Structure 1
């Protein structure tokens, strides 16, 4: 039997082949469970015991009347302005905790993350790869994409049902992913990033149109892109051609850049506002969250677009309420802010990728994965 290539060898082979001009995905290291019957995920749910809001200061600044969203905003804001350490795990948890009105427990969430981290470290020792800089990335890749003892023989898969969270915002949650092993382009890279931080493993979130993925450096210091929606390594050229990014947008740095920890935490405020909007609609709290994100992550195109939608919706509502009267100074200021944000979006080379087009892209990616798996199965059976 031919020896299976290691994760390190796969990375090196990828880089060699890319040097000869290949732009499509060339490496597949995922072994999926049989589709003939559905595997039942063991019941290991995050506790629903209510957790009281954590007070970040002697008295939180009141930015919304919802105590959960108010507390979550203040704590993440404290991280960003240096009042407490940046903590991506905690920030992600807070966005979900606020939406669920405190009905998930941080101690339970952290305990499960710690248990997974311990298994990943044991896996590295068992495989004898601890001397490699990318040992943690190797273990994480195996954890997400291949059936093994770390994940209970149930790799993580993409959940095509309501993947944008339009019907149920909790479909996008990391806590939901941990319970079901089914996620999407937010929860999958977010859990990877959380676990990487816990292991002191280098990994970064990166942005594509309507999408997040993972970047990290390989053993030779070259960037590797991990597309967790299908468990593949993807070249920059493939990411560009398949998602329709404009050259201008890439040059302006709104896509494909490795986000630092501060930027990653800052974006959690945008996600906090998205959950808030699901409950209450667009208001000044949504705009506040977006503006705070942009203060620490100025080129967050996803934030700019959400702010655009918020200002436009609020403005239209105020305009209808005028009933022919003259706009107030506050309304004129809001409109000016809307125009500045709109001009910035256009100047950065943003091109809209509709939800329908994104869904079609996902299905194309999934079909390509299944095709390669079928070819792999035929080859191995010969």
Structure 2
């Protein structure tokens, strides 16, 4: 179906960006592909997720002070380190990070973090930036797990990202097994809970497109997908396709990147043909070939994602989620 991926996909979605666009000088200094190459090289060089994320965010908003953001994260990690008892295991250290982020105390300077109830589906790309999360203390399922992972890595934990449909979370290695840490609620969840809540199919599990601990390269792809979101509204769709191809070379199982490709082809089809309305003049042979190519590629990439186990989000889930958000907001208002 052409343009199937136009509905909201909760946190990990293609979104509009409302901040001021980058200056022409910045765009000339580094193209999207050059930025992607640099970010993927950082992953290969073993750079931590904080540095990779801030590099991505800097492309999205050139006003970001990278050194300042990284310094804030380092300071947070050092404050947490002072509270870690000798011999604490991985889960105990993880629990201290979650406590630092979520519980009001002098330790965190009475600045707790929480989910952004005003942007429940994470539709504003600006809200996925670490600088925004650190400033507002309100996050989503992109900024929240990435900050948790950044802190965990700096504290010596074996942590990585993992994904579920329209969602990102963290896995931590504990006694030889991976445990799931849900950064949006500051707790732990089982794989089965994610499967039930997000309707992950047996096919998706068999093909390992969800719930697996991601490699450093694969995690960098998850972070870099924000650049695809930026390009959806501010760049050429062909550049978006080129960036997606580069990301798929690092993670061939990234269904989110496949969906970006399908959506990019839809926008090209829309811009070149559908927006012009019906015409009494038949398409030329060349134009018809172009139309069919775009239509075929749009369908192919959605079919590819579906063949691996991806399924279009269910609208009834979105409605239940929004109702949960309304109840949560009402409870917070009631309690002052």
Say whether the fold is shared (TM-score over 0.5): yes
Measured at CA, do residues 200 and 362 of structure 1 come closer, stay the same or move farther in structure 2, by a change above 3 Å?
farther
What's the offset of the Cα at 1:186? 0.6
Residue equivalent to 1:187: 143
Is the contact between residue 221 and residue 251 of structure 2 (CA under 8 Å) also seen in structure 1?
A: yes
Residue equivalent to 1:343: 303
Residue equivalent to 2:188: 233
Is the contact between residue 33 and residue 243 of structure 2 (CA under 8 Å) also seen in structure 1?
A: no
Q: Distance in 2 between matches of 1:286 and 1:257?
A: 26
What's the offset of the Cα at 1:106? 1.3
Q: Distance in 2 between matches of 1:225 and 1:286?
A: 32
Is the contact between residue 68 and residue 98 of structure 1 (CA under 8 Å) also seen in structure 2?
A: no
Q: Distance in 1 between matches of 2:241 and 2:105?
A: 44
> Any idea what the Cα deviations from partners look like across 1:181-216, whole Å, max 9, x if unmatched?
110111100111112222221112111111111121
SS in 2 for 1:327: helix
Q: Distance in 1 between matches of 2:231 and 2:29?
A: 9
Q: Distance in 2 between matches of 1:325 and 1:309?
A: 25
What's the offset of the Cα at 1:258? 1.0
> Any idea what the Cα deviations from partners look like across 1:130-158, whole Å, max 9, x if unmatched?
44244432321212232233422333111
Q: Distance in 1 between matches of 2:117 and 2:50?
A: 25
Normalization by structure 1: what TM-score? 0.70
Measured at CA, do residues 351 and 233 of structure 1 come closer, stay the same or move farther in structure 2, by a change above 3 Å?
same
Structure 1: tracts of 5 or more residues without a match? 1-49, 54-63, 372-382
Measured at CA, do residues 362 and 188 of structure 1 come closer, stay the same or move farther in structure 2, by a change above 3 Å?
farther
* Residue 118 (1) aligns with residue 78 (2): yes
Residue equivalent to 2:57: 96
What's the offset of the Cα at 1:367? 5.8
Structure 2: tracts of 5 or more residues without a match? 1-22, 332-336
Q: Distance in 1 between matches of 2:325 and 2:264?
A: 32
Residue equivalent to 1:156: 113
Q: Distance in 2 between matches of 1:356 and 1:330?
A: 37
SS in 2 for 1:123: coil
What's the offset of the Cα at 1:326? 2.0
Is the contact between residue 86 and residue 261 of structure 1 (CA under 8 Å) also seen in structure 2?
A: no
* Residue 138 (1) aligns with residue 95 (2): yes
More deviation in 186-195 or 312-321?
A: 312-321
What's the offset of the Cα at 1:277? 2.0
Q: Distance in 2 between matches of 1:355 and 1:177?
A: 28
SS in 1 for 2:100: helix
What's the offset of the Cα at 1:358? 3.8
Residue equivalent to 2:254: 300
Is the contact between residue 39 and residue 56 of structure 2 (CA under 8 Å) also seen in structure 1?
A: no
Residue equivalent to 2:218: 263
Residue equivalent to 2:285: 326
What's the offset of the Cα at 1:342? 2.7
SS in 2 for 1:204: strand
Residue equivalent to 1:247: 202
Is the contact between residue 86 and residue 265 of structure 1 (CA under 8 Å) also seen in structure 2?
A: no
Q: Distance in 1 between matches of 2:312 and 2:237?
A: 24
Q: Distance in 1 between matches of 2:111 and 2:217?
A: 32
Normalization by structure 2: what TM-score? 0.78
Q: Distance in 2 between matches of 1:331 and 1:65?
A: 32
Residue equivalent to 2:10: none
Residue equivalent to 1:289: 243
Q: Distance in 2 between matches of 1:143 and 1:69?
A: 36
Is the contact between residue 243 and residue 361 of structure 1 (CA under 8 Å) also seen in structure 2?
A: no
Measured at CA, do residues 150 and 205 of structure 1 come closer, stay the same or move farther in structure 2, by a change above 3 Å?
farther
Measured at CA, do residues 148 and 261 of structure 1 come closer, stay the same or move farther in structure 2, by a change above 3 Å?
farther
